[in-house]
Structure 1
Amino acid sequence: MEALFAPPPGHWGLRGDPLLWDALRRLFDGVALPDDPDALNRALDTGFAELTGTALADAPDSLPVSWAKGTQGGLSNGLVSPPFWREIGFPLIRDRWAALR
């Protein structure tokens, strides 16, 4: 699955999003591509929740998700944007998965 994360998106929602992108890429390093889109969605949702402590489905669009592990050199680095992941990040990964199938 790591191949689905290269290259990274051209823009981000918040400063913590590229750090989470890299953490997800490392989390899925060596993991085989899922056989179906439902398995891919479950893997992405599980990875997001595992790393942030918050399920993306439960995260409101109006508030960033705090990601303590992503804090590097400032509090805002530890904030990720749920709308970015719903509208850009995960759809990009899904499109790449579909192109490889």
Structure 2
Amino acid sequence: MKISEIFKDEPQQWGLRGDPYLWHELKERLDNVDMPDTPEQLKSILKKEYEVATGHPINHREHFTVERFMHGGMSSGGISPEFWHDCGIPLLVKRHVAP
């Protein structure tokens, strides 16, 4: 199983308008990456890819903007670290399936 498969079902609610674009980018980035053995390893991979994609570590708590996710509107491109820390990454880790 590839990690990208756990991104299939999107969250019901997002933090800011750039979060869905980040979700899709992470899904693409992890399209050819095999599911690791443990949820802890998956969490580590997700945190690393989040940082690579955004330029911010997951523990950066203030909202920020990623220019390539800007598609018009006031909060366009906005990323909510709170959403990713409290909801997005835990949701994905919960979907871990041992290989």
Task: Flag whether TM exceeds 0.5 (same fold).
Answer: yes
**What residue ranges of structure 1 are gaps of 5+ in the alignment?**
none
Structure 2: which amino acid aligns with 1:4?
A: I
Cα distance in 1 for residues equivalent to 2:67 and 2:74:
8
* Root mean square deviation, CA, Å: 1.3
**Per residue, is there more helix in 1 or in 2?**
1
Normalising by the residue count of structure 2, what TM-score does the alignment of the two structures yield? 0.88
What is the number of equivalent residue pairs in this alignment? Answer: 96
Residues 65 and 81, structure 1, Cα contact 8 Å, conserved in 2: yes
The structure, 1 or 2, with the larger RCO (C-alpha pairs under 8 Å, 6+ apart) is 2
The alignment partner of 2:15 has SS state of coil
Q: Which runs of 4+ in 1 moved over 3 A?
A: none
TM-score (norm 1): 0.87
Q: Which residue of 2 aligns with 1:70?
A: 69
- Identical-pair percentage: 34
- Equivalent-residue separation in structure 1 for 2:31 and 2:74 (angstroms): 27
Give deviations 1:4-54, integer Å, cap 9, x for gaps.
101110110100010100000001001100112232122111111111000
Counterpart check, 1:93 vs 2:80: no
Q: Which residue of 2 aligns with 1:36?
A: 38
